[in-house]
Amino acid sequence: MRILLLDKNHPLITEQLLEKNFILEEDFTSPYDEVCNKIENYDGIIIRSRIPLDQNFLEKGKNLKFIARVGAGMENIDIPVAEKLGIQLINSPEGNRDSVAEHVVGMLLILMNRLFIASNEVKNGIWLREENRGDEILGKTVGLIGYGNMGKATAKRLSGFGCKVIFHDILPDLSDEFATQVSLEELKDQAEVLSLHIPLTDSTNNLVDAEFISAMKNDFYFINTARGKNVETKSLVEALKSGKVKGACLDVLEYEKSSFENLETNNDDLNYLLNSEKAIVTPHIAGWTHQSKEKLAQVIVDKILLTYSN
């Protein structure tokens, strides 16, 4: 099988597939049009997010048997078209679920205990104790939306903090020893901390908007390590200003480029987030540890070999 690698990943992908006699070609720089013109020569693609695999692209890949994304989200692929064409879609959420879960907990602890703020003050000669009182996770109700790999790993980490973890998911009967499944209405009624663990789809685009936020019974902390467009930023900023959202931990932003490599816009709402003590913003790195880079790659290789190894 001939496989085209469109993004740089852990070298184990190349090493292990070559050992199994796959034919590999790397192309990390050609633009969309150039890749389109040659895609019919390949049986498989391994990507992250550099190029959108839309209907035009997929229809030109007449010999494609699979597309493997090193990561969890598949929104850069036209999934209905791929399925119609019989192209197998492979991803690897198992590979970075642990790093995402640790990032969620880390951001939440930093925000609730004002660690960045207090540290920077002390480094600048300011010693404030009362003003930097923290808020404990212990005893709070944490609500997760989405209970797949990321949500379950997050609930497992939170289980040691003495909080109650509830979640909402479109699939039924997912409760386990770490979290209890509830309706979305129950989650809005109970949660004091809200964390998103959902893909970007038509139904989850701008899921957290002004109406959603106002329906939350409690003032709450908000965490998003899913996709930036799951949240209507303007509404989040207004809620931060009003105090309805007590603080926000954002690893993803509505304004990211589709490749996730940078921001594509700048506006007042973004500037507020970047300058507010109520917000922690990181550059889409929740799933981006040294360990997850290797695990993501290994999951992809294992899934390819499971189906296509002779």
Q: Which helix (H) or strand (E) holds 195?
A: strand 193-196
Which of 50, 103, 227, 254 is catalytic? The answer is 227
Q: Which residues contact 238 (CB under 8 A, 6 or more apart)?
A: 210
Q: How far apart are CA 259 and CA 242, in angstroms?
A: 33
Read off φ and ψ for residue 195, nearest 5 degrees: -130, 135
Whether 67 contacts 307, CB under 8 Å: no
Question: How would you list the strands of the sheet with 23-26, edge to edge?
Answer: 23-26, 2-5, 44-47, 66-69, 88-90
Catalytic-residue membership of 256: yes
Catalytic-residue membership of 227: yes
Determine the 3-state secondary structure of 161 from DSSP.
Answer: helix
Q: Which residues contact 16 (CB under 8 A, 6 or more apart)?
A: 301, 305
Q: Which residues contact 183 (CB under 8 A, 6 or more apart)?
A: 168
Catalytic-residue membership of 284: yes
Whether 35 contacts 6, CB under 8 Å: yes
Q: How far apart are CA 299 and CA 291, in angstroms?
A: 12
Q: How far apart are CA 170 and CA 108, in angstroms?
A: 25
Which of 69, 97, 197, 284 is catalytic? The answer is 284
Q: How far apart are CA 30 and CA 51, in angstroms?
A: 10
Q: How far apart are CA 128 and CA 275, in angstroms?
A: 20
Which of 192, 232, 254, 256 is catalytic? The answer is 256
The residues annotated as belonging to the active site are: 227, 256, 284
